[in-house]
Structure 1
Amino acid sequence: MQIAIIQPIIVSGNKKANYLKMSQLIEQAVGLFPKPDVIVLPELWSTGYALQELDHIASDQGLEEATFLGDLAQKHGVWFAGGSVAAKTSEGVTNRAQIINRQGQLVAFYDKIHLVPMLDEHLYLTAGNTICVHDIEGITFGFSICYDIRFCEFIRKLALEGAQVLVVAAQWPLVRLSHWQALLKARAIENQCYLVAANNTAMGNVPFAGHSTAVGPDGSTLVQFEFVEGVQQVVIDVTKVEQIRNAVPVFQDRRPDLY
């Protein structure tokens, strides 16, 4: 399977600019050879991290963004997996990762369950209450958003539910770039699965870290962005997941009776 990662410069609070930018980058992605099967976008790709504005600019259930991506998915015959949007619900605005199939249908979603207290996310967002793993053409994907990667128990739960590929959509800040790099590699190594992460690379008042990446189940770096906007692609071969898990059987050797 071919997975394309899009690392954009997201304009905070400007949906029109972000739709235009994403259209351009998606066109670039589908022009890659071989053509990607799946495209991964960052967290809050349509609005940016404009928390105080989300109540006004979030779309109902995130359907505006799902329609936009659905039309492109159908046009190009690709999946979109894990990019998140601000979705207005009856309980408040959620940070919602969307999974859209080749026919343009929204087939699953994940509402971010860990809200960042240091940034007052709980004042603007409503936390989700369920995990999301979903089959994409025979491969099981697990979904997470930004701060989620600090919770090893949560990511392990995705792996225990069958995830062979972990998707991380983020608006990770530059000030904690070293944490981003260490945590992504650790989550892939300890769960012996692929990890694909897309981040914002805007350099405004609060600069974001860029450095979107793909990590193999052995911890090897397969794709590495720096601070430049663009698109890169990684090949996923899930037989390597089983090979690594058989060679180093940490899942067999867990002691959940003790911890």
Structure 2
Amino acid sequence: NGLLLYLHNYSFYAQKVILALHEKKIPFKSQTIDITKGEQYQPSFLEVNPRGEVPALRDGVKVIPDSARIIDYLEDNFSNGNHPRLIPQEPSIKQRVNHFRELIDRIPANTVTMGAFYHSEFICKPKLPFIAPVRAFMRAGFEKTAERLTKLAEAMPQYRETLLNKAEDHAKTYKTVKDKEAYTRLLDEVDNTLQEVEDQLFQNKDSSSWLVCPEFTAADVSLTTLLYRLDVVGLSRKFYSAGRRPCVEAYYDRVSTRPSFQATFPTLFYHFKALIGFK
């Protein structure tokens, strides 16, 4: 019956997988899990993915969690004439793709996002969906998440360990995003990563290459999704726009014209529909 992707369209990690699916030209169906309402912790979804996270990919009886594992699964099972590779087979290029993919994927995008909601001095002109009322709503929900997970763990003993572990992880993340010094250190990590990306792109500036090679790769999937998130959350000026990193800025301008980009990230119409239902 084909692939079914459990997602939320504003999930950073779901967006990575959606972008990869479009780049590989793989048809799929989707089922939205409303993470703003805690649907990822409902028993019906925990039966699909006991980790209570989106995205998750169902292929027949198999369920693959975690965006990186899903992309690897797609690469291993859907790479032929109809489905372009995202990880080239040539060893030296493959090594560079894996290097940049791992480098970028180490950035905890959700922590970067939430921290921006608490430290507005770092952001400039955030875009939809992260306008002020949404940021306030997400802060309020974020601050109650650990307590809610603890209560759910008591109500669902079969998932108790998983939910308590998530509550503990969430408490650590909350501590980071509230602490300006800790959050600043995290932003420094982003800065160092994007400087290495800038240096790589500078080497490519006289060619039509993407991050590593002429083909769009899994490293580009990771980079594109990160740059989009930094843009909409209001951190692009800090890291790459307005001449801060001209090669990264030019890359983002170029990648945003790709059909896969336009098919992956929510449209203005989608934002408006989401805001109508926002409470």
Q: TM-score, normalised by structure 1?
A: 0.33
Q: Which has the higher contact order (CA 8 A, sep 6+)?
A: 2
Q: Which has the larger strand fraction?
A: 1
Q: Which has the larger helix fraction?
A: 2
